[in-house]
Amino acid sequence: MINIITALQCEARPLIEYYKLRGNARHNAFRCYQNDDMQLIVSGIGKLSAATATTYLAASTPGTASSAWLNLGIAGHANKATGIPLLAHKLIDNASEQQWFPGIVMPISCDSETLTTVDKPEQEYRKDTMVDMEASGFYAAASRFQSCELIHSLKIISDNQQHTSEQITEKITTAMISDNMATIDSVINPLLELSSQLNTIEQVPAEIYDFMAQWHFTTYQQNELRHLLRRWHALSLTDHPSHHDFSSHTTSKAVLSAIKKFLDEQPISFNTKAIQ
């Protein structure tokens, strides 16, 4: 699952059409759209609005699955050409000077740039940074629910020193987003894949219920058991973990010690074919 935050309806419109998103009537605080893999919310302008919309979407999403987060919209830059997409590798809140560094772990088809969020429109362009009014609020909120690898801001340059912000219209904004749908899709798809991989890793191992039916584990021990069973699967051993293999042990503490001892004795092997 990926959650997308745009400030304006005209920024959201190309995504709604491209991904065939449907309006979600159960949300009345914000305009929200979705399909099976994606949720989109239109926050309104400003970092407070972006933070509020991000928190609202996180709170209204059931479950604890690892979802990706993307802030998509337009931004200004002193000398970058209008219409080009840039992924933020550093975010700065101008008022507080707080900084964030998104973890770009997937290949990207566009350049990256610093992104500075300001509280009100500025007439002078800053050097070596994009400028918007939402990203810091979005990132500060999203980082409470997810790790930095799954939180990103992708901006389309809408204005610069030669083409100022006064020339921007809703129609131009929509056209800029539409023209960059291939790049937007190339960012969204790896984030969806990474989200899916993390959910697979984080899911509760099925064998845990057999162990819990056989022995009594405290809450702390259940967490330890879950960790050990995930470690077992990560080693890609031929045999799956089975409670029958530890039936000689009478206490949960002994079972945990036996599983840990078994795993510690396993050699680490690298699948060179997978690496290639």
Indicate whether 270 and 193 sit together in one domain.
Answer: no
Distance CA(240)–CA(222), nearest Å, equals 18
State whether residue 101 is helix, strand or coil.
coil
Let me know: does 146 contact 68? Beta carbons within 8 Å: yes
Among 181, 201, 221, identify where a domain stops: 201
Shared domain check, 185 and 78:
yes
- Same domain? For 133 and 152 the reply is yes
Boundary residue ending a domain (167, 201, 235): 201
- The SS3 assignment for 169 reads coil
How many residues does this entry show for the chain? 276
Tokens read off for 266: 């396993």
- Residue 48 shares a structural domain with residue 162: yes
Q: How many domains does the chain have?
A: 2
Q: What is the pLDDT of residue 187?
A: 97
Are 98 and 188 contained in the same domain?
yes
CA distance 43 to 256: 48
Per-residue pLDDT tens digits for 63-87: 657 899 999 999 999 999 999 999 9
Write down the H helix ranges in the chain.
9-18, 47-59, 135-142, 170-179, 181-202, 208-214, 219-234, 252-264, 272-275
List pLDDT tens digits, range 4-38: 999 999 999 999 999 999 998 888 899 999 999 99
CATH at residue 82: 3.40.50.1580
| pLDDT tens per residue across span 251-269 | 999 999 999 999 999 886 6
pLDDT at position 270, please? Answer: 55
Are residues 173 and 215 located together in one domain of the fold? Answer: no
Return the HEC string of 27-38: CCCCEEEECCCE
Q: Which of 26-30, 87-91, 112-116 has the lowest mean pLDDT?
A: 26-30
Say how far apart CA 108 and CA 236 lie, in whole Å: 30
Domain shared by 218 and 241, yes or no: yes
Q: What's the gap between Cα 223 and its chain centre?
A: 25
CA distance to 128, 224, 249, 261, per residue, from 255 (Å): 58, 11, 6, 10
Q: Would you state the torsion angle of the CA atoms of residues 184, 155, 16, 171, taken in this order, to the nearest 10 degrees?
A: -120
| Chain centre distance of CA 260 | 33
Residue at which a domain ends, from 176, 201, 226: 201
Instruction: Provide the domain limits for residue 266.
Output: 204-275
Could you tell me if 64 and 119 lie in one domain? yes
